[in-house]
Each structure stands twice: as structure tokens, then as C-alpha cells.
Structure 1
Amino acid sequence: MCQANQTPFLQTDLLTEGGNTHPIVDSAALSLIPAANPRDHAVVTGLYTDAFATAVATLGHTLNVANSSAHRILYYLPEKISPRALCVATASGWEPRPIERIAPPFRGVHRHFLDQYSKLNLWKLDQEGFKSVLYVDADALVRRNFDEVFRLPWTFAAVPDVYTTAAGYVSAFNAGVMFLRPDSALFQDMVAKIATARYPAEQAEQSFLNHYFGAEALRLPYAYNANLAIKKRTPALWKGLQAEMRIMHFTMAKPFLQGDYAEVPMDQLEKNAEKVARKKPDFKEEIAEWVEAWKETRRTYDAKFLQCNAL
């Protein structure tokens, strides 16, 4: 019998020698499902502070390289984002959409998550004709195409969360990557309940969405939200994810930020990333991968960035 908080099936080397090497998507089975109309689905990210503008641009570039057929939509708070930051963020092809901030309904929300309830606006995208949406946090990189998710018949799906604490691998999901089917009526229902439902306040919308969807949420494979906490907790599992990883989520190391979530000037990003890697050597390879993606982004959209920095 396993003791509390132990997950031995994830602590071993199952995904390296002797592990399952089959792809997570069965191409033959997928071919039996009608392809989603590209006009019907979108990838969405959010910008709530200027400090994440270069991360959004880099995420967009990796999305372009992965050749996703989805629309690219950037949700942003107009009262908090400067014209320069919006210009930088959208340089790689995101379509800007100003949204209304949804304030935390009560105290106790972590100060870095105070704007995160605004994600609930995703469910209003049916008003623009979208039938399916994949939301991706700005602190992520796209590793390979993930358009198969748009064929999912479920209304909501996300990846189980991972902690480096005793909690370990949990059934609650991480809200950094979410598949959903927009529904304005559902949005109204959620907004009506965020202040009366009982859930832990600190993790903001993530706590609420876990409460709201609970056991009804489909759990996606870790490859769709490869949280750096996996590498910290179970290096063998992280190694086994590499071939299938769709999205890498920089939860525990953000090479584009300094200090307490402060913005890094564009010409100092590489040096800042080196500093972050020295402080968090466990993620040196992943930070280097982000830097390479940023370098490609800067080369590709350099003329646009010059215009942005003049604003």
C-alpha cells in the first residue's frame, strides 16, 4: 500500500528504458475524426503587465513555427498595457483584444494573480464565432503542433498540476493551458458564482475553475502543459516527455523577468536569462531553449520591434 503523498509510479524511470514509447496521439484514430475548421478555433494568451510583452512575442513565434492553424488572440487590459508593450507583444502575429478586468471577489489572492480572473472572458468567444479555444499562459513555449486538441468533444480540458512540495502530482489541474468550448451563458454563470463559491483564494481563477469544473474536466497528458515542476520532482519523467512535449510552461523560472516580476529591457534579456540560469541551475537547458526562441523572435521581427521601441 502506498503511503500518503507518495506516487511511486512517477518516481521511477518508467518513461526511459523499458517505458512506453508509443505516441500520445494515434494518427489512424485521429484521421477518423473530422478535422476542425480553422476558422472555428483560436489560441489565446493574456497580457496584464508590460513585463510579459517579450514573452508573448516569443510564444507567438514558437506558435508560428509549430504551424498551428488556429487564430492567435491576445487578451490585454488596456488600462495596464502601454502602446509600446502591446506593439511588442503583437509583433509575432497575435490579434489584440482589449478585455474588461474581472476583479478578485475577495481578499487573499496572491498578488501576482490579481488580474487572473479576467481569463474567464475566454468563455465569451462564442460571440466571435469560435467553437473551441486553447488558452496558453504567456510564460510558455510551443514545442510542436497541438491542433489535435481542437477535435476534442469535451467542453473543458486541462493538465493535472504538479508541485515540488509533498503534494506532488495532484488531480487538480493547472490553468496555464486550458482547452474549452466558449459559451456566454456559462460565462455568466461563472461570474455569478465566483464570489459565493467556497474555494481557496490564493490561486485565484485556478482554484475557482477547479471548484467549478471539478471531476467534469478532462485531464490532458503532461505533454500539453509541461510544467517545469515535473523536471524538479521527477527528472526521468521530464526526460520521457521530450519527444511528445507540445507546450513547455516556465512556472519555476522566468528568463524574461527580473526582481519581483519586473520588466527586462529587450537588449538585456539574454544577460538576464543567464542570471536566472545561475540562480536556478536545474532549469539551465530550458532557459537556454527559451533564449534561442527569443533570439529567433528578435531576428524575425526586428523591424517591427524597432518601431515599437520608438513609441
Structure 2
Amino acid sequence: MFRLSRYKDYTPLWYDITPLKQTSRRNAIRILSVLALIAVSVSANIYLIYKIVKRWPTALDTYQHLNPYPIVNEEFLRTLSSPSPDENAVVTSMYTDSYATAVATLGHSLTRANTTARRLLFYLPDHISPQALCIASSTGFVPYPVSRIPPPHNGVGTHERFMDAYSKLNIWKLGDAGIKAVVHLDADTLVLRNFDELFSLPYSFAAVPDVYVGSHGFTLDMNTGVIFARPDMGIFDDMLLKMQSATYDGIQADQAFLNVYFAADALRLPYAYNANLAIKKRKPDLWADLRPRTRIAHYTLVKPFVAEEDNTGVRILRMNELEENVIRRMSEFDGAFEEELMDWLRIWRDTYKTYGDALRECVDDATGAS
């Protein structure tokens, strides 16, 4: 009996082990379920991260040749009167001598497009030489000295090239000169067609959405290379106050600030009013449709009037160097912008042909003065 009691808890090999099998099966199911949930969670997170990095394509990234109608309703356009030179102005700004020939070419392109608004050239007297000012104003822009508006926070966080760019905000002071509407064109733009309809906009501020070659692509933020504004000293004073405390990426200076200042209140214009070269690199099909309707081309990626590939404009090109420079820069970006650079060169040639005497006199006067 003692020997038998020693094995009272022993389970013989032939004992029924079905309960053990059922327990093991349940555990296996639980483990597999947990692993499946983990796999689903990991897959969902990978997918979400992919969509954040590579966002859903916009209608511009998937651009299709659908709309054959003009940007502006021609019947309505004919009802608009020509801009009054007393009340409307095209303004550009020059902060360095290297942009003098660009401004001269821009001025002639405005004449070719029959723009009737007055033309003002903002410049900083301490930054611009008499020779450069003479060249820039030889094709119709009237020199208009302005005070430098320094970047906030002593320029900390502002790109070196944009330290003077806030001076563009002086356009809001033009109301004191009786001007009711302004179209500001950066000096690296070229007018290809008339845009007088902009002066009839009932809004306070308008610009074209920006576009980047890289992952940013087409954005809601505006590129301020071309802007429409209605001057107002109240707005000017308010901007000077707010730019000291507003939160934005200061590296893009005035552009970043204007985006946060006008934000949801800005009218976003069609790309024809600021045909950024980045559009062609980003979506060639869109550029192909845009090109025949472009009012203003914007030479963002390649500036034909400066020598450096990074577009710093440190070396000032002489007028007799421009043609060779443009041809040399046509090879950049694998020749993607050869046609657009040729457009600029063609208008520069016509500028020099039309205003050559005045342009040469600017150089001769400077040589004589030295």
C-alpha cells in the first residue's frame, strides 16, 4: 500500500491528455492573435509614415490637359478701364548693383506688354551706385529712394541674401503718394503679357502659391516675387509692429512674414502671374499649358543676369558679358530652362538695341567720373 501511495499523483502515459491539448491550442491562438495585431499596427504605421513623407498627390502633381478656357474672362476684361498712372504703379526693388541690367530688361518688357501704370524703382541710396541706378532706370522705371527696413531680431535667422528684403514693405507707404494699387515685381521677373487686370482687384493683398522642386512640391504658401497690394499706412505701421513678435521661419524674410500676416485673407492668384521656373522642373505638363498664357515669368532657379550658379550675384557682370553668361547658364539643370533663358536674352537684346545710347552713357559717365 505504501508503494502504491507514492504514485498517487503520477499521471500514466495512457492517461487522457485532451485538456492539456485544448489549453495549448488556446495559448497558441492568443499568441497568433497578438502577433497579427502587432503586424497590422506596424503596417498601419509604416503606411501613415509613408503618406506623411510622400503626401497624397495634388491635382497639380497629377496635372491633366482638361481646361481649354482662358484664365481671365475676355468679355469682362474689355469692360475694365486702363490703369490710371496717377493711382496705379508697378514697383520693383534693387538692393545690389548686380541687378541693374535685370531691372532695365524688366522695364523694357513692361513697355513691350503695353502696361500703362506708372513705374517706380525702390532703391537704398547707400547700397546702389549712380552707374547701376542709371542703367536700371534707363527703360522707364523712376528712381524712388526708400529707407531700409531691417529684419527683426537683428537679422538672426534671416538668410544673408535677404537682409534688405523687408524694405519691400515700403510699398504700403505709397498711399501717401496717392497710389491706390501696386503690383510689385521682383527684379528677377520678366513680363511676357499685359496684366493690367490685377489693378482692378478688390482685395488688399494677392500673390501666387509657391512651388518647390523637392518634396514640398506645390504649396499653399505664397511666393512674393509678384504681389498685388493696396497701400495703407495703417497696415504698414501694423506690420512693422507685428513682425517683431510673429512666429515664422525668418530665413525667407519678407516672404515668410507676409505669408503669416495675410494668411487666410490673401487672394491666391493663378500661376500665370508668377510662372516660377520650379513649376517646369516639378511638372513639365503643367508648364507646357502655362507657358502660352504666362503674364510674368520668374527666374528663380537660374538668374540669367548673374554669374554664379548659386545666384548670389557677388560678381557684377558688365553689359557686354550678359549674352555669353546667359548661353553658359543654359546648360544648368540639364538644359531644362534653355527656352526660358533664351526668352530673357531675346528681350535683353531688344533692350540694348532700343536703349543702347542711354545705357552706354551710364557707363561712360561712370568711367569719366572715376
Relative to the length of structure 1, the TM-score reads 0.96
Q: Residue 210 of structure 1 corresponds to which residue in structure 2?
A: 259
Gaps of 5+ in 1: none
Q: 1:50, 1:81 within 8 Å by CA — same for their partners in 2?
A: yes
* Residue 183 of structure 2 corresponds to residue 114 of structure 1: no
Where 2:208 maps in the other structure, the secondary structure is: strand
* Matched-pair contact (CA < 8 Å) for 1:136–1:178: yes
In the aligned structure 2, how far is the partner of 1:13 from the partner of 1:198? 34
The residue type equivalent to 1:10 in the other structure is: L
Matched ranges for 1:148-159 at <5 A: 148-159=197-208
**Pair 1:234-2:283 in alignment:** yes
Question: Could you say which residue in structure 2 is the equivalent of 1:95?
Answer: 142
Aligned to 1:39: 86
Structure-1 separation of matches of 2:320 and 2:81 = 46
Once the two structures are superposed, residues 181-217 of structure 1 have per-residue CA deviations (whole angstroms, 9 ceiling, x without a partner) of: 0001110110111111111110000000001000100
Query: Identity of aligned pairs, percent?
Result: 48
The residue that corresponds to 1:84 in the other structure is 131
Alignment of 1:14-163 (within 5 A): 14-15=64-65, 19-32=66-79, 36-106=83-153, 107-163=156-212
Larger Cα Rg: Structure 1 or Structure 2?
2
Offset of 1:269 from its aligned partner? 0.6
Matched, 1:190 2:243: no
CA displacement at 1:37 relative to structure 2: 3.1
**1:287 equivalenced with 2:341 (yes/no):** yes
Gaps of 5+ in 2: 1-47
- Paired with 1:27 and 1:283, the residues of 2 have a C-alpha distance of 30
* TM-score with structure 2 setting the length: 0.81
1:302 aligns with 2:356: yes
1:35 and 1:267 map into 2 onto residues whose CA distance is 37
Cα offsets for 1:149-202 (capped at 9, x unmatched): 111000100000001111110111001000000001110110111111111110
Give the 3-state SS of the residue equivalent to 2:92 in structure 1: strand
> Residues of 1 paired with 2:57 and 2:190: CA distance?
28
Question: Contact 2:274–2:295 (CA<8 Å) still a contact in 1?
Answer: yes
Q: Tell me, yes or no, if the aligned pair for 1:232 and 1:282 is still in contact at 8 Å.
A: yes
Residues 8 and 171 of structure 1: CA distance in aligned 2, closer, same or farther (over 3 Å): closer
Distance change >3 Å, CA 218–CA 274, structure 1 → 2: same
Write the letter of the residue equivalent to 1:109. Answer: T
The residue type paired with residue 361 of structure 2 is Q
Matched, 1:276 2:329: yes
Contact 1:7 1:169 in 2 (8 A): no
* Matched AA of 2:351: T
1:267 is matched with 320
Secondary structure at 1:39 match in 2: coil
Shift of 1:293: 0.8
Distance, in Å, in 1 between the alignment partners of 2:116 and 2:278 is 29
AA of the residue aligned to 1:85: A
> Which residue is equivalent to 1:257?
306
1:140/1:250 contact within 8 Å kept: yes
The residue type paired with residue 14 of structure 1 is Q
Deviations 1:70-129 (A, max 9, x none): 101000011000000000000101000000001111201111111100011000000110
Task: Kindly provide the amino acid, as one letter, of the partner of residue 83 in structure 1.
Answer: P
Q: Secondary structure at the match of 2:292?
A: coil
Q: Which moved more, 1:136-145 or 1:258-267?
A: 258-267
RMSD (CA atoms): 1.6
Residue equivalent to 1:11: 61
Matching residue's letter, 2:317: V
- Contact persistence 1:74–1:97 (CA under 8 A): yes
CA gap 1:183/1:285 in 2 versus in 1, 3 angstroms = same
Matched position secondary structure for 1:62: helix
Equivalent residue letter for 2:357: A
Between 4-13 and 276-285, the greater mean CA deviation after superposition: 4-13
AA aligned to 1:165 is G
Q: What is the alpha-carbon distance in structure 1 between the residues aligned to residue 190 and residue 237 of structure 2?
A: 31
Deviation at 1:226, TM superposition (A): 0.2
Q: Indicate the SS of the match to 1:78.
A: coil
Contact 2:82 2:196 in 1 (8 A): no
